[in-house]
Amino acid sequence: MEAILDKNQLPRHVAIIMDGNGRWAKSRNLPRAEGHRRGALAARAAVEECLALGIAELTLYAFSRENWSRPAEEVNFLFRLLVEFINKELSALETQGVRLMVIGEEEGLPGYARKALTLARERTVGNSRMILNLALNYSGREEIARACRLYMESGAPAAACDCASLTGYLYTAGRPDPDLVIRTSGEKRISNFLLFQTAYSELYFCDTLWPDFSAADLHKALHDYAGRIRRFGGLTKH
Ligand code: IPE
Ligand code: IPE
Ligand code: MG
């Protein structure tokens, strides 16, 4: 039987690099699209489990800026799936107290996806039980470059530009960094995700392909996190 999770040792903010949809489909001789479809269900289940656990913030890496290099057919499918997901789940998310937010360059997204995201954001703006951030057309490096541009455009002096002031121009301005970053599918890299914000995040890698990622897999990651000692550059307290 699984050990009980200590609520006091849960991360406040979990971020997930949801990887392995294509391999999941390939291993079953299914089209990649089917992997993404099953991946969307796994994402929904992860939201549900985080809500049940009382996790305050969940960030899901759904589409990177580099993912545009995939065939147009796959990219189009992913955005159609996103809109389908929003249409299907928005009412439930609304009543569950989830606030939906987006990080990434939204202007670059297809118009119909932007419209659905805007509606979802507006409908859930008053919710505070959990923040669900969708990283879409997201690049960590570009986010940092953008923050520098915005800082310069504000007219503030270059000499005063420090980490705290740049933080205010990130997509995540005003919100806490992820405590735990999970990546599925056995890949052990960050792939341009939240480069600035993960400076002291705990990293957890598992072999499970994203469509197979279950509440039990999430619990495993959370147990692992609970055993970590975070030092932030300081000394361990004994
Ligand atoms: C993650 O699964 C979903 C996205 C990146 C949109 P992949 O599509 O990257 O799956 P693999 O890595 O090819 O298995
Ligand atoms: C990272 O997965 C991006 C998302 C999960 C949206 P990728 O499959 O795009 O990453 P690489 O190409 O294997 O690094
Ligand atoms: Mg991948």
> Which atom of ligand 1 has the smallest separation from the CA of 20?
14
Q: Residues with Cβ within 6 A of ligand 2?
A: 17-19, 61-64, 67, 187, 189, 191
Q: Whose CA is nearest to atom 8 of ligand 2?
A: 19
Active site residue 224: no
> Which atom of ligand 1 has the smallest separation from the CA of 24?
14
Options 6, 67, 76, 224, the catalytic residue: 67
Burial code of 130-155, b = ≥16 C-beta within 10 A, e = fewer? bbbbbbbbbbbeebeeebeeebeeee
Asked if 166 contacts 147 with a C-beta cutoff of 8 angstroms, the reply is yes
Q: Provide the residue range defining the domain that includes 54.
A: 10-140+177-230
CA 153 to CA 32: how far, in whole Å?
A: 42
162 within some domain: no
State which H helix or E strand residue 220 sits in: helix 215-226
152 within some domain: no
- State the average pLDDT for the chain: 97
164 within some domain: no
> CA angle 24-16-168, nearest 5°?
150
How many structural domains is the chain composed of? 1
pLDDT for the residue numbered 1: 63
pLDDT for the residue numbered 71: 98
The answer to whether the predicted template modeling score (pTM) of the entire model surpasses 0.85 is yes
Terminal Cα-to-Cα distance of the chain (whole angstroms):
30
237 within some domain: no
171 within some domain: no
> Which of left, alpha, beta for 191 (phi over 0: left; psi -120 to 50: alpha)?
left
User: Ligand 1 centre from 33 Cα, in Å?
Assistant: 10
pLDDT tops 80 at residue 221: yes
The DSSP 8-state label assigned to residue 54 in this structure reads T
User: Ligand 3 centre from 224 Cα, in Å?
Assistant: 23
Q: Which residue type occupies 24?
A: W
236 within some domain: no
> CA angle 70-76-78, nearest 5°?
85
2 or 227: which leads in pLDDT: 227
Cα atoms found within 13 Å of the Cα of residue 177, Cβ hemisphere only? 15
Q: pLDDT (tens digit, 9 = 90+) per residue, 174-193?
A: 999 999 999 999 999 999 99
Asked if 197 contacts 178 with a C-beta cutoff of 8 angstroms, the reply is yes
The DSSP 8-state label assigned to residue 190 in this structure reads -
Q: What CATH number should be reported for the domain holding residue 202?
A: 3.40.1180.10
Query: CA dist 134 to 73, 123, 148, Å?
Result: 21, 16, 22
Q: pLDDT (tens digit, 9 = 90+) per residue, 41-87?
A: 999 999 999 999 999 999 999 999 999 999 999 999 999 999 999 99
146 within some domain: no
pLDDT tops 80 at residue 2: no
pLDDT for the residue numbered 236: 79
CB atoms within 10 A of CB 193: 21
70 within some domain: yes
